[in-house]
Amino acid sequence: MKIRSILLALALIAACSPKPDEPVTPDDPNEEQKDTTAVEPVPVVDSVALSLEEALMLDFVFDDDGKAHDGSKNSLWIDSKLGVNMMTYYNGSAERNVARFFNSLGGIVDEGFYKYSYYSNTSFKNALASGHSMEVLFMLGEDPRDVGEIKMFSSMEAGGTGFLITDQSRGREITFLPNTTNQGEKNWRWCRSGVVPEVGKYYHVVGVWDKEAGKARIYVNGELKNTVAAAGTLNFPNGAASNWFCVGGDPSGASCQSAWNGDVVIARVYSEALTDAQAAKLWEKAPKNFQAPSIKLSNVLFFSECEVKINSVYTIAADGLVTGDKIRLEGDETFDCVTEILSDRALVTIPESFKSGDYKIFAVRGAESAPIGSARLTVSDSPRELFAPKVVAHRGFHGSGRPENSIAALKAAQDGGFYGSEMDVWMTTDGELFVNHDGVISGKTIQNCTAADLAGVTLSNGEPLPTFRQYLEQFAKNTATRLVIEIKSHSSDQRNLDCTLEMLKEVDEAGLADYVDYISFDWGVCTAIAAQKPGSIVGYLTSTSNLEGMLEKGINCADFAYTYLFSNPSLFDRAHSMGMLVNIWTVDSPSEMMRAIGLGADFITTNKPDVLQNIVERLF
Ligand code: MG
């Protein structure tokens, strides 16, 4: 109604104004000399464009500093979850800043995305619920291979709306996916486009949920590709914490899942179900002159947070570099660095006038440049020496049919030649030790069961739930990969201690004490182990920056979650200066692995030990 009345008013104003080609009768005879063409022409009212402007209620506009702001009339606050996995850069073809994401496709990340939370914005929610549209212009940066769904702009969690690229079983199509309840039946309304995105190409997509008509539509590059039934009421994402629009992935509480790799140029939400004419107008206005980049780099690795020395070399490993390529570091000042290209890496000389700061990194070839990431580089006369971290397979090298903490996962870690294979230990009421992460398996709480109660329990690959003794038997076959033993937190301190003593006894009996490390979230467990096994590596899984007193108790490794450590990076140096080691868990994306190495992690615990091992082999 509001739009219609504005349009009507404008039409009336236009009708009452003199047309440019009508002669103007002058009041003043002197005016006669004036050229009548100088009369200001009435601007042509583009009612479609005007209606779009009116309906636009969220518009992610990417700024030079990597953040985003809302370009709509609402000026909503956008939370820019800045991280090493994202940057903004000026894209000449689009004539604007573009967000580039380097997340591992489909992964879960805690930074490297943009967030607009609408949970407490009632009018925004009402507008979504009464019918809405979304617009995105994106480029997929990497082949999705075997990962599941990937999302560049969405708000879904067991409900919601947004775009995705479907998983392989659904054909990898660009899809608009609102969730509605119709006649008591809650369902995703799969509005698939039939378009499978090619890596490196840009796609303009409009998704429309028309509540009144009970339909959803999807347009790709200006063409209506599909209309599906989507009657009913809109379901919002399940849980307040997921009521937000994500650019760069999909909300999952405070985290982002189904993470994106590639560009997002436009990400907008409209308060109405747009018409064909409006969708056509969006396509008309969208940038289209994207050139296929000639610089195609893959397997890019660099230290995103490290110390550098003037005139020393900063290495960027990548496939696809050619002789003559240069590396540009763009911060407050821009440096086109002296660059030596080897077959798989660029050796970048840090220039004389370089300053500490945050830099965007580009590969430059002739007139073209390609963004490859961002880094926080600190100038130092004696930069921290980088060393290869020790690779610890989290719960064994699981995946590909090998369940976590299975004998198969331990064997795979041994075969992979990793430094260590981590595992978790629980004790039953009758003093038997079992290996499992969760306290409950097949509905049975391990610490409340007897060994007999657990006799028939199997893992998903058919293996019986392993006892600690069975695990040690496999471990004894190849101790080149160390066993990293975690004692889980039981219902009482006494039970923790009983479990610890039994574990130490079994390790001793098997003659394996020289080949194991220990970790626990429980202080009492850690101090008990350190007292019994002085000189062993004992890691306390902590989230406190207070490391005082640990070493005196024999706890020689500070063991931090990566989210905490990346927020408190000075802890690396502090722990090291106190003579302690640092383990960081659970680091699964290559860029985060690089960040952890750059900060000086002694151990990196990961669900992707093969990926980390590969990185270590490439860099050291
Ligand atoms: Mg564990």
Output the CA 500–ligand 1 centroid distance in Å. 15
Checking if the pLDDT of 160 tops 90, the result is: yes
Q: Write the DSSP symbol of residue 95.
A: T
Q: Give the 3-state DSSP-derived string for 246-271, with helices as H, strands as E and coil as C.
A: EECCEEECCEEECCCEEEEEEEEEEC
For residue 81, how far is its CA from the centre of ligand 1 (angstroms)?
Answer: 28
Tell me the torsion sign for CA atoms 548, 305, 108, 64. Answer: positive
Residue 195: strand, helix, or coil:
coil
Q: Residue 310 has which token pair?
A: 């003037």
Q: Are 255 and 216 in contact (CB under 8 A)?
A: no
B/e letters for 560-596, b = 16+ CB within 10 Å, e = fewer, are bbbeebbeebebbeebeeeebbbbbbbbbbbbbbbbb
In whole angstroms, what separates CA 200 from the centre of its chain? 19
The mean pLDDT of 137-164, rounded to a whole number, is 96
CA distance readout (Å), 299 to 149, 368, 384, 591: 22, 20, 25, 10
Q: In the prediction, which pLDDT does 49 show?
A: 93
Question: Among positive and negative, which fits the CA dihedral 360, 361, 364, 368?
Answer: negative
Query: Mean per-residue pLDDT for 399-426?
Result: 97
CA of 67 to the centre of ligand 1 (A): 35
Q: Looking at the predicted structure, is the pLDDT value of residue 29 above 70?
A: no
pLDDT higher than threshold 80 for residue 20: no
pLDDT, position 37? 56
Q: What are phi and psi of 70, to 5 degrees?
A: -85, 120
DSSP state of 387: -
Residues facing 261 on adjacent strands:
102
603 Cα: distance to centroid of ligand 1 (angstroms): 14
- Compute, in angstroms, the gap from residue 447 CA to the centroid of ligand 1: 16
What is the Cα Rg of the chain in Å?
30
pLDDT in tens, 199-240: 999 999 999 999 999 999 999 999 999 999 999 999 999 999
Q: For residue 82, count other CB atoms closer than 10 A to its CB.
A: 18
Q: Is 514 exposed, middle or buried (0-12, 13-18, 19+ CB in 10 A)?
A: exposed
CA of 110 to the centre of ligand 1 (A): 20
Q: For 85-104, what is the mean pLDDT?
A: 92
Q: How far is the CA of 586 from the centre of ligand 1 (A)?
A: 10
User: Residue holding tokens 């004696």?
Assistant: 382
Tally the residues of the chain. Answer: 620
Helix then strand then coil, in percent of the chain rounded to 5, is 25, 35, 40
Q: 510 alpha carbon to ligand 1 midpoint, in Å?
A: 22
| Among 242, 207, 237, 246, residue whose Cα is nearest residue 224 | 207
Amino acid type, 586? T
Confidence tier at 591 by pLDDT (50, 70, 90): confident
Closest to 204 (Cα-Cα) out of 190, 188, 224: 224
For ligand 1, the distance from its centroid to the CA atom of residue 574, given in whole angstroms, is: 24
CA 425 – ligand 1 centroid, Å: 9
pLDDT greater than 50 at residue 590: yes
- For residue 484, the CA-to-ligand 1 centroid distance in Å is 9
pLDDT value of position 242: 97
Flag whether pLDDT at 27 surpasses 70: no
CA of 426 to the centre of ligand 1 (A): 11
Q: Report CA(408)–ligand 1 centroid distance (Å).
A: 17
Task: Label residue 10 by pLDDT band (50, 70, 90).
Answer: very low
Task: Return the structure tokens found at 527.
Answer: 């101090």
Using the mean position of ligand 1's atoms as its centre, give its distance from the Cα of residue 502 in Å: 18
137, 142, 144, 147 alpha-carbon torsion, rounded to 10°: -100
Distance 124 CA to ligand 1 centre (A): 42
Higher pLDDT, 118 or 108: 118
- Expressed in angstroms and rounded, the spacing between residue 158 Cα and the centre of ligand 1 is 29
pLDDT of residue 38: 60
Reply yes or no on whether the pLDDT at 331 is more than 90.
yes
- Closest residue by Cα to residue 613 from 596, 583, 584, 593: 593
Instruction: Give the pLDDT score at 35.
Output: 53
For residue 462, how far is its CA from the centre of ligand 1 (angstroms)? 22
Distance from CA of residue 169 to its chain's centroid?
Answer: 23
Mean pLDDT of the 54-66 span? 97
Distance, CA 5 to ligand 1 centroid (Å)? 63
For 430, the token pair is: 């009758």
d(CA 513, CA 528): 15
Tokens of 152: 């560049």
Which of 172, 238, 236, 171 minimizes the C-alpha distance to 209?
Answer: 236
CA of 576 to the centre of ligand 1 (A): 23
**Residues 602/581, Cβ–Cβ less than 8 Å:** yes
* Burial (Cβ within 10 Å: 0-12, 13-18, ≥19) of residue 178: buried
Give the pLDDT of residue 545.
81
Listed residue (249, 217, 202, 237) closest to 102, CA to CA: 249
Residues 79, 81, 87, 91, CA torsion sign = negative
* Pairwise CA distance, residues 565 & 547, whole Å: 13
Which tens digits make up the pLDDT trace of 444-492?
Answer: 999 999 999 999 999 999 999 999 999 999 999 999 999 999 999 999 9
Question: What pLDDT shows up at residue 23?
Answer: 41
Q: Which residue spans within 23-149 are E strands per DSSP? A: 56-62, 68-70, 79-81, 86-91, 96-102, 113-117, 132-140
CA 394 – ligand 1 centroid, Å: 7
pLDDT of residue 497 exceeding 60, the answer is yes
Q: How far is the CA of 517 from the centre of ligand 1 (A)?
A: 12
Rounded-to-integer distance, Cα 50 and Cα 3, Å: 8
pLDDT > 80? residue 177? yes
Ligand 1 center from residue 395 Cα (angstroms): 6
- Between the CA of 474 and the centroid of ligand 1 the distance, in Å, is 18
For residue 284, count other CB atoms closer than 10 A to its CB.
11
Mean pLDDT of the chain: 92
CA of 150 to the centre of ligand 1 (A): 28
- What pLDDT does residue 292 have? 72
Peptide bond into 586 cis (omega under 30): yes
Task: Summarize pLDDT for 533-588 with one digit per residue, the tens.
Answer: 999 999 999 888 889 999 999 999 999 999 899 889 999 999 999 999 999 999 98
Q: How far is the CA of 594 from the centre of ligand 1 (A)?
A: 22
Which pTM value belongs to this model?
0.75
Instruction: Give the Å distance between the CA of 568 and the centre of ligand 1.
Output: 22
Could you give the percent of the chain with pLDDT greater than 90? Answer: 83
Distance 615 CA to ligand 1 centre (A): 23
Contact 205, 163 (CB under 8 A): yes
Report the C-alpha gap between 590 and 580 in whole angstroms. 25
Task: Determine the distance separating the centroid of ligand 1 and the alpha carbon of 46, expressed in angstroms.
Answer: 61
75: left (phi over 0), alpha (psi -120 to 50) or beta: left
For CA atoms 172, 177, 181, 186, the dihedral sign is positive
Q: How far is the CA of 437 from the centre of ligand 1 (A)?
A: 6
| Residue 96, Cβ density class (10 Å: 0-12 exposed, 13-18 middle, ≥19 buried) | middle
Q: Which residue has the tokens 């890019």?
A: 300
The model's confidence at residue 39, banded by pLDDT at 50, 70 and 90, is low
Cα–ligand 1 centroid distance for 562 (angstroms)? 14
Is the per-residue pLDDT at 18 higher than 70? no
Q: What is the spatial distance between Cα 94 and Cα 265, in angstroms, rounded to a whole number? A: 8
What is the per-residue pLDDT across 263-275, written as a single tens digit (0 to 9) for each?
A: 999 999 999 999 9
The rounded Å distance from CA 585 to ligand 1 centre is 10
Measure CA 315 to chain center. Answer: 24
Place of tokens 């999705």: 144
Band (12; pLDDT cuts 50, 70, 90): very low
Token pair 């994500």: residue: 246
